A and B are shown apart, each in its own frame.
Chain A
Amino acid sequence: MKPNAHYQNPALCRSLADRIAEMAKGQIRIMEVCGTHTVSIFRHGIRFLLPESILLVSGPGCPVCVTDQRDIDAFIKLAGQDNTIIHTFGDLMRVPGSSSSLQKEKAEGRDIRIVYSATDAIDTAMVNPTKQVVFAGVGFETTAPTIAASVVAAKRMGIDNYSIYCTHKRVPPALDALASDRDMHIDGFLLPGHVSVIIGRKGYEPFFQKYRIPSAIAGFEPVDILVAILRLVEMITEGSPALINAYPRAVPENGNATARKTMETVFDTCDARWRGLGLIPGSGLAFRDEYAHFDAQRRFGITFPETCLPSGCLCGEILTGKITPPQCPLYNKACTPIDPVGPCMVSSEGTCAAYYNYAAGDDG
């Protein structure tokens, strides 16, 4: 199991962990913002290598988990329309809405298909000209450009029966919301590698200048993560905060300008509702008027009922790192991956699912 031997070198990992242990003084809380980091940390058993003084808390970086209940309900509503094909990423299928889930709707006979990219949805739209094909778009800056590209392509090709229900979100405004929360006490941020490929180190500069909390962009292999943690611990103990790129082999200083341009052609920023974090200004992506035609929300006149989280689910606290899953009374009792109560237990990148699937011992 060594796809990337150097970045999983046991001796190197061990020595990085030892240096972290030497450096760390007192309790240090580091938030890994990204769900892929959470999973990698668990899968590789990285917590096991780290000293107890380093507390890794998971943040709001799993797109399915932060999708607001209203949006989940809207997907389900769309799936119930006649002559409609919904395309979605797999994880979304099992997220419980207020009264159903996409998976249950599919079992009822609704046409809901799992795809790996938005271009698959365009293909479906072309071969089913009499049907409405809606892509349920959840994600961050990582996938937003591909969604935007699919919209540009659809417009160019004159594909009329394709639309997107866009719940895509931007990471930096969420960091801002977390950092300004007085209950949070985050000493350092491990910033998401994939998102950074698009927005670059520069994309976080305004956030960093505002709060000056040590921040490091990290890759997803064990060595990447440990190196980034080491750099954070150095900055924290020396009291010299910086915003560094510890994943230079993938993340350019300025990110990917072409991808951002495509994104900006189609989308403008807007306020967006995050599960657990509430309304965050400027954190969402809304269709520009030239592309409004592709906005499923407008096309089908989706309105939102007021809904609340399933009773007892503490996903909000989980997503802001205020509690760990075992502290949720439903964890591993009423809520398991087979019968999930909240999205954090459904998504493969969800913190509750990661604890359930990987944590050795009760608290990981």
Chain B
Amino acid sequence: MKKDRILLDHGSGGRMANRLIAEMMLPLFNNPMLSRLDDGASFDIPDGRMAFSTDSYVVDPIFFPGGNIGDLAINGTVNDIAMCGAVPLYLSVGLIIEEGFSIKDLEAILRSMSVSAEKAGVKIVTGDTKVVPRGAADKIFINTSGIGQIPEGVNVSGENARPGDKIIVSGTIGDHGITILHQREGLSFDAQMKSDSAPLNHLVARMLNITKNIHVLRDPTRGGVATALNEIAAKSNVGIRIRESDIPVKKNVAGFCSILGLDPLFVANEGKLIAFVEKQHADDVLRTVKEDPCGRDARIIGEVVSLHCGKVIMETAIGGERIVNMLTGEQLPRIC
């Protein structure tokens, strides 16, 4: 690529666009389905149930410690599919790029998308690129959609929580949101902060290997753990009790939250999951989660009860009690 900026022509569908695809995208995402460059990908579907999900990524800044908008876009959709209990198979990628965007940055983003897809074991089989005039978008927005296959006997849904279920969280919470905020505000008092952006599908597969009695899976992205738990309590019409002292939070994240008056329970995660597991399997599942690189700090943080239906109640670290409510409004905009 000779020019070092994206031009409107790159989204034209003409010669420039073809070159962008041939020189930058195909070498990174090469697979037979994509390289046919048909209007869409065609493939056989396995028997049984499928999961299908889509998400758009507008994170600002686009590069941050621990990742960038590219791997976030892959991991996010891979995780959404995995949270249906499915094995993610194929993704589509739609890029909306602002005129004048640096080609070097685009290359870096595409490269990390390819690395993440590889890590997750999914294929990018179709895509689209649009370039909009300067100011009509902020640098780059990415949409990814994906499909996956739900294995026989797996039935995971936000409606399935049952009294007695143990609630596992796969690691420290709030890392992603706080890293973005930290970066955006140019606050430099902690160099250790890093987004947790990661694909969770292999972890989910390991868990489902231990037992199919996993009732709910959720990746607590925007709105954080608190919002996810509230949604589950409402959908399943159950009560949820959690213990503050069991919730893993990194020291620097907790410190930063307390300075800014944020509650880590409401801060976004991009590489963590919450699982509601039938009581007798909970310890086995926890052990397995802890063996996975994404789950080393996993903990059981609480359980489902048949009292106070629709509400999440937390036993505070000092032995008090309070409600954990849903997030209202946008605590931190453009976090993913």
Contact = CB atoms under 8 A, between A and B. Distances in A.
- The finding on whether chains A and B are genuine partners in a shared complex, rather than unrelated, reads yes
Contact of A49 (B260, B263, B320): B320
Contacts of A336: 328
A359 interface: yes
Given A338-B329, A360-B313, A45 B321 contact: yes
Contacts of A48: 316, 319-322
A14 B319 contact: yes
B325 A357 contact: yes
Given A1-B245, A1-B254, A2-B254, A45 B328 contact: no
A357 B266 CA distance: 12
Contacts of B249: 1
A304 interface: no
Contacts, number: 80
Interface in B278-336: 313-323, 325, 328-329
B245 A45 contact: no
A43 interface: yes
Contact size class for B?
20 to 34
Interface in B16-38: none
Given A1-B247, A337-B329, A13 B319 contact: yes
A337 B254 CA distance: 24
A45 B318 contact: yes
A10 B314 CA distance: 15
B138 interface: no
B316 A44 contact: yes
A44 B263 contact: no
A10 B247 CA distance: 16
A43 B316 contact: yes
Contacts of B254: 1-3
Contacts of A14: 318-319
A10 B319 contact: yes
Contacts of B329: 94, 337-338
Contact of A360 (B247, B317, B322): B322
Contacts of A46: 318, 320
A194 to B, nearest CB: 12
Contacts of A348: 261
Interface in A15-57: 36, 39, 42-49
Given A8-B318, A48-B320, 4 more contacts: A1-B317, A14-B319, A42-B322, A360-B313
